[in-house]
């Protein structure tokens, strides 16, 4: 197996995730795109862990999984709160913080 | 880097799983149904777990299945159900300027491809990799990476309390 094939798979997933974050209006779909980005990072970390024969990549991948779980929990709670107050989770309608 | 080297079982498995993952990821960002997007995300996450096994990271793969496919997916589906009046296809999931995302993603991918190919062009991963067991990972977590582990514990605690405070009715 080549090192670059895993890194390129990570790059493709990362770019698809970035496209999703830019293009989507629905807040839940934006959170899903962020999950794609975090997974592409995990693939890269584990590819380098295999390449270098080191356990550091595994450790960081586990930390990323835990942070992603916490992020989704808080993010969906915020989405729920916004929906309860505004009856909508379109991100372009949240303009209170605009200066 | 010849056909005989490339057509080993690992590479065929990689190609099939990678193809499924890319199709799934594209469906996540293009489908017009939020529930379908969540289910396509399951496909991508399962494929990622399979890639972790190809990368000799069994423990991370099992954690991925437990945490992502088990817990995060349930959260997503609950979030979808609690914020949607109806489950089904709908228009208006994209921004007005969603086309801007295509050139941004394209340029980003081109830059990353150039960087990866120029740095790691034909480099092979080791055929007989050093096996990294659960014991070594736990030695890492509770040894040199103990401080980030503590920080992560507080992050999770804060996330739990924050989620309860935010989502409480009154």
Domains in chain A, please, with CATH?
Answer: 3-88 (1.10.287.3510)
Alpha-carbon distance of B56 to B125, in angstroms, equals 11
Q: What is the percent of chain B with per-residue pLDDT over 70, rounded to a whole number?
A: 91
pLDDT of residue B15: 92
pLDDT of residue B128: 77
Alpha-carbon distance of B82 to B65, in angstroms, equals 24
Higher pLDDT, B166 or B65: B65
pLDDT of residue B96: 78
- Considering only CB atoms, A16 lies closest to which of B25, B63, B140, namely B25
| Low pLDDT (below 50) residues in chain A | none
Is pLDDT above 70 for B4? no
Q: What is the percent of chain B with per-residue pLDDT over 90, rounded to a whole number?
A: 54
Contact in structure between A50 and B129 (CB atoms under 8 Å): yes
Contact list, A11 vs chain B (CB under 8 Å) = 109, 112-113, 116
Is pLDDT above 90 for B49? yes
Is pLDDT above 70 for B88? no
Q: Is B90 on the interface with A (CB under 8 A)?
A: no
Contact in structure between A59 and B134 (CB atoms under 8 Å): no
CB burial class (10 A; 0-12, 13-18, 19+) of residue A35? buried
pLDDT of residue B85: 54
All structural domains of chain B with their residue ranges: 3-96, 133-170
Alpha-carbon distance of B31 to B91, in angstroms, equals 10
Contact in structure between A46 and A58 (CB atoms under 8 Å): yes
Instruction: Inspect the interface and report whether the beta carbons of B130 and A19 lie closer than 8 Å.
Output: no
CA-nearest of A18, A31, A24 to B98 is A24
CB burial class (10 A; 0-12, 13-18, 19+) of residue B7? exposed
CA-nearest of B169, B170, B167, B148 to B159 is B167
- Considering only CB atoms, A78 lies closest to which of B51, B158, B166, namely B166
pLDDT of residue B43: 95
Nearest CA in chain B to A62: B60
pLDDT in tens, B31-48: 888 889 999 999 999 999
The residue written with tokens 């496209």 in the block is: A19
Is pLDDT above 60 for B2? no
Name the pLDDT band for B95 (thresholds 50, 70, 90): confident
Q: State the first-to-last Cα distance of chain A, in angstroms, to the nearest integer.
A: 51
* B3-96 has CATH 1.20.120.1200 classification: yes
| DSSP-derived 3-state class of residue A71 | helix
Higher pLDDT, B4 or B106: B106
Shortest Cα distance, chain A CAs vs residue B158, angstroms: 9
Alpha-carbon distance of A76 to B81, in angstroms, equals 11
Torsion angle, alpha carbons of B28, B30, B32, B33, to 10: 0
Q: Which two tokens stand for residue B164?
A: 């309860």
Is pLDDT above 90 for B120? no
pLDDT of residue A25: 84
- Considering only CB atoms, B108 lies closest to which of A4, A6, A15, namely A15
Is pLDDT above 80 for B84? no
**Average pLDDT rounded to a whole number, residues B136-156:** 93
pLDDT of residue B1: 47
- Considering only CB atoms, B129 lies closest to which of A50, A66, A89, namely A50
Q: What is the mean pLDDT of chain B?
A: 87
Contact list, B156 vs chain A (CB under 8 Å) = 66, 69-70
Q: Look up residue B96 and give its DSSP letter.
A: T
């Amino acid at each position: 197996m080549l090192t670059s094939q895993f890194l390129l798979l990570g790059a493709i997933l990362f770019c698809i995730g970035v496209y999703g974050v830019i293009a989507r209006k629905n807040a839940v779909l934006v959170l899903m795109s962020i999950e794609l980005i975090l997974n592409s990072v995990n693939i890269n970390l584990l590819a380098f862990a295999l390449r270098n024969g080191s356990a550091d990549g595994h450790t960081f991948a586990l930390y990323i999984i835990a942070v992603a779980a916490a992020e989704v929990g808080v993010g969906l709670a915020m989405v729920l709160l916004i929906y309860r107050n505004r009856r909508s989770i379109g991100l372009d309608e949240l303009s209170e913080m605009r200066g | 880097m010849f056909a005989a080297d490339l057509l080993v079982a690992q590479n065929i498995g990689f190609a099939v799983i990678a193809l499924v993952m890319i199709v799934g990821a594209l469906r996540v960002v293009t489908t017009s149904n939020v529930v379908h997007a969540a289910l396509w995300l399951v496909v991508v996450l399962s494929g990622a777990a399979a890639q972790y096994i190809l990368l000799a990271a069994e423990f991370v793969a099992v954690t991925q299945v437990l945490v992502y496919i088990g817990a995060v997916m349930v959260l997503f589906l609950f979030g979808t159900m609690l914020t949607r009046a109806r489950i089904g296809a709908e228009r208006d999931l994209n921004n007005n300027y969603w086309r801007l995302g295509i050139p941004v993603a394209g340029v980003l991918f081109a830059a990353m491809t150039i960087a990866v190919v120029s740095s790691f062009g034909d480099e092979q991963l080791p055929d007989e990799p050093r096996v990294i067991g659960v014991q070594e990972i736990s030695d890492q977590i509770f040894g040199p990476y103990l401080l980030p582990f503590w920080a992560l514990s507080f992050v999770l605690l804060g996330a739990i309390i924050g989620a309860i405070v935010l989502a409480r009715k009154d």
